[in-house]
Structure 1
Amino acid sequence: MGKLARRLASQGVNYAGQASPLLRRLRKISALERREEARAFLELFARETGMSRPAFEKRWSEIGRALRRRNFYEHTQDELAFGARVAWRNHGRCIGRLFWESLEVFDCRKTTEPDAIADRMVRHMRDALGDGRIRSMISVFAPVEDTVLPAYIESRQITEYAGYTLDDGSLLGDRQNVEATRIAQSLGWRAPEPRGRFDVLPVIIRDRSDRRVLFSLPPSAYREIDIRHPAEAGFADLGLKWYAVPCISGMILTIGGIDYPCAPFNGFYMCTEIASRDLADRKRYDLLPDIARALGQRPETAKTPLWRDTALTELNRAVLHSFRQAGVTIVDHHAASDQFMEFHRREQAEGRRVAADWRWVVPPQASGACEVFHLRMTNFHPVPNYYSAETSDGRRLMPFYGDRHRSRAEQAFDRLRRRWKLWKRTAW
């Protein structure tokens, strides 16, 4: 690390020359690309909010000057709220976008210290859960300012379960979180004794100097639902449970060329997320054999693998029953499919194409019986949007002009420009 980097780090400021994990995840776009995204976002904001042309020109002049001077500009509160909602509307991996306009946006850009971020997230989780009728919310913290990186939440979700490697080499808990659990223990977290399959992990926050800070969630910040089957008493003996509010904290919000690496947001669960993926995936809890035995089946001696289908269906039934008995918002995959189709129709009526990733939107359970299974989808990665990392999904993000009336020549030019940007952003 050079002298300048050391001096900035001592002041609590991160510097682009450091090998920061966040820096490796951020999109690499040029000043011209940032300016293009800012212009495209402001035009979208003006078009959909009814901004007058003089007001647009004045605001664009302010943004242009800021970009030339600092390669950065600040969104107004209205722009931030609009951008966060449109990012949800544009995100091709989400099936639940029908309610994008109801997203509650909280401007937390002045909250920069880890303690204050943790306090805000405790309030966020409490307010999101409420009395069980879950509210979709996002808390947006400080953005990246050119080469200065803000504090951010390293944990992928605010509520996660620990995963342990036992002495005999077997795994206990959530296999996906074995490394996150090891990191938390190295930072001083002590797992409860005896260790269980559903131990809530603390939240890891990185401050502006890229140092990890550990915060344990108070019990009032989350609620767990015991999984019970409406007809099979054996389910209770398995001791299954899951948390009520999924709050994603490991994604980066990008609006008009400005990235917000700390923008935790929550919706509510679709039953297959818990039953068909979290509890059933082999790289997660891998509980299908246990579920089958609780149903009176013997997977070891079964002549066909269809016992898995029965176990998955009954596990989904148990999750739905348990959440509804607890009065907590949840949706089944058939209702979610219908909601997406309604969202698709509304967007078409507004003259907007829908970006969608078939592999993520189609539910993993009873896929062919859901209408979305038969819908042709293309994910063209429009901005604003959310992304996990530059190498996974951030590289393809760029303005989409296909909703406008354009000549064939303009359409061809757009395609060539997208290909050029992708080629330039690829590390050959």
Structure 2
Amino acid sequence: MHALFGRTTDVREAERFIRLFHAENPSAGGLPARLRDVARDVARHGTYVHTFEELEFGARVAWRNSGRCIGRLYWRSLKVRDRREVATAEGVAVECVAHLREATGEGRIRPTVTVFAPDTPAMPGPRVLNDQLVRYAGHRLGGGVLGDPRNVVLTDAAKELGWRGGPGRFDVLPLIVRSGLGDPLLCNLPGDAVLEVPLRHPEYGWFAELGLRWHAVPVISDMCLEIGGVCYPCAPFNGWYMGTEIGARNLADADLAALLPEVAARLGLDTSTERSLWRDHALVELNVAVLHSFEQDGVTITDHHTESRRFLTHLEREERAGRRCPADWSWIVPPLSGGATPVFHRYYDTCELTPAYVHHRPTR
């Protein structure tokens, strides 16, 4: 439950957002009347309702303000699915599946956000407990984990609710959805809603024998969309993958899939000394495989060199528009060959702006 549940919307935050919306959308008109209506609704009901235009603008600006995202150049293209009338767990589950199908586009990934019912002073909005709509299970087996170690707790919770999947290395977890103050609901994702890419290498035939794959669309589902003092606790959103997210993190991190030793062994590298740079060599080939596989299957993906240049273009555009552009250096610089990318060689504004996608505050 978000901390804004049970609280009156801060009318000052509402006013700041309404003024921002009208400043960037002067054709909307009627600013004084809109400010009066919002103040009246907050006084009477403890909150107010965004127009679709305000919601769409707020969701897009929240992406523009996301300091950890390198792919913000196309923030204006974000497709906003307004599902604020949906508050039941069943309805949220159905719309999350629809989101996956629409955003996937048979491989032509479309940046998309689906916005469900907000928190109000009387009732919290729905929540998806998964941190992404598509995640692979982490099964406890003996003293270890089969699958994704990040998702052990979520996998346990799903099994307690009756899930009988696995145990495999790439078992897609069901969604766990909670509506308002209700009990959690388990929802299995249909196979046609989850596009996966089997990984292979353009030069090494043995790479396909590793049996690796990854899902096509990263849909963040456990963050709150805050717009003008209103919290939408369930607003799953996605862009598309940058290759290093999969090849240098999800499959390579020592506390995740930890595949570098296996890849290095297949490459015949000398792993007895760090000076052979076997980790670096294996990491590059793993990332080559990811980019090659997505491209061969016609699934949208970008590489870290291209995306770094795009980010600097975004930064220049924001500066020309007279806006601050927050960025977290530790997230913007890619986890592979960071020093070879242009985003490495500068500092960034670390301010926090709203609207924003934020992690849920502690429950009360």
CA distance in structure 2 between the partners assigned to 1:248 and 1:342 by the alignment: 25
Which residue, 88, 92, 109 being the options, matches 1:117? 92
Task: Quote the offset at 1:308 in angstroms.
Answer: 0.8
Question: Is 1:35 matched with 2:6?
Answer: no
Task: Give the match for residue 298 of structure 2.
Answer: 327
Which residue, 240, 248, 252 being the options, matches 2:224? 252
Question: Is 1:181 matched with 2:155?
Answer: yes
For residues 87-122 of structure 1, give each alpha carbon's deviation from its aligned partner in whole angstroms, at most 9, with x where no partner exists. 000111100000000000011011111112111111
- Runs of 4+ more than 4 Å apart: 27-31
Q: Relative to structure 1, is the Cα distance of residues 305 and 154 closer, same or farther in structure 2, using a 3 angstrom cutoff?
A: farther
* Corresponding pairs, count: 362
For residues 351-402 of structure 1, give each alpha carbon's deviation from its aligned partner in whole angstroms, at most 9, with x where no partner exists. 11111111111111110111111121122110000011336xxxxxxxxxxx
CA distance in structure 1 between the partners assigned to 2:310 and 2:138 by the alignment: 34
Q: Contact 1:280–1:288 (CA<8 Å) still a contact in 2?
A: yes
Q: Which runs of 5+ in 1 are unaligned?
A: 1-21, 392-428
Task: Give the match for residue 207 of structure 2.
Answer: 235
Which residue, 103, 108, 132 being the options, matches 1:128? 103
Which residue, 304, 308, 312 being the options, matches 2:283? 312
CA distance in structure 2 between the partners assigned to 1:379 and 1:255 by the alignment: 20
Task: Give the match for residue 34 of structure 2.
Answer: 59
Task: Give the match for residue 47 of structure 1.
Answer: 23
CA distance in structure 1 between the partners assigned to 2:10 and 2:68 by the alignment: 24
Question: Is 1:365 matched with 2:336?
Answer: yes
Q: CA RMSD in A?
A: 1.6
CA distance in structure 1 between the partners assigned to 2:245 and 2:111 by the alignment: 17
CA distance in structure 2 between the partners assigned to 1:295 and 1:34 by the alignment: 59
For residues 34-89 of structure 1, give each alpha carbon's deviation from its aligned partner in whole angstroms, at most 9, with x where no partner exists. 22211111111001111466x00000000001111222100001100000000000
Question: Which TM-score applies when normalising by structure 1?
Answer: 0.82
One-letter identity of the residue aligned with 2:24:
E
Q: Relative to structure 1, is the Cα distance of residues 303 and 252 closer, same or farther in structure 2, using a 3 angstrom cutoff?
A: closer
Q: Which runs of 5+ in 2 are unaligned?
A: none
CA distance in structure 1 between the partners assigned to 2:301 and 2:255 by the alignment: 24
Which residue, 70, 74, 85 being the options, matches 1:95? 70
For residues 12-47 of structure 1, give each alpha carbon's deviation from its aligned partner in whole angstroms, at most 9, with x where no partner exists. xxxxxxxxxx23xx369985x822211111111001
Task: Quote the offset at 1:175 in angstroms.
Answer: 0.4
Task: Quote the offset at 1:346 in angstroms.
Answer: 0.5
CA distance in structure 2 between the partners assigned to 1:349 and 1:264 by the alignment: 30
CA distance in structure 2 between the partners assigned to 1:30 and 1:217 by the alignment: 34
Of the two, which has the highest radius of gyration? 1
Identity %: 46
Task: Give the match for residue 180 of structure 2.
Answer: 208
CA distance in structure 2 between the partners assigned to 1:35 and 1:340 by the alignment: 34
The secondary structure found in structure 2 opposite 1:78 is helix
Q: Contact 1:248–1:264 (CA<8 Å) still a contact in 2?
A: yes
Q: Contact 1:234–1:295 (CA<8 Å) still a contact in 2?
A: no
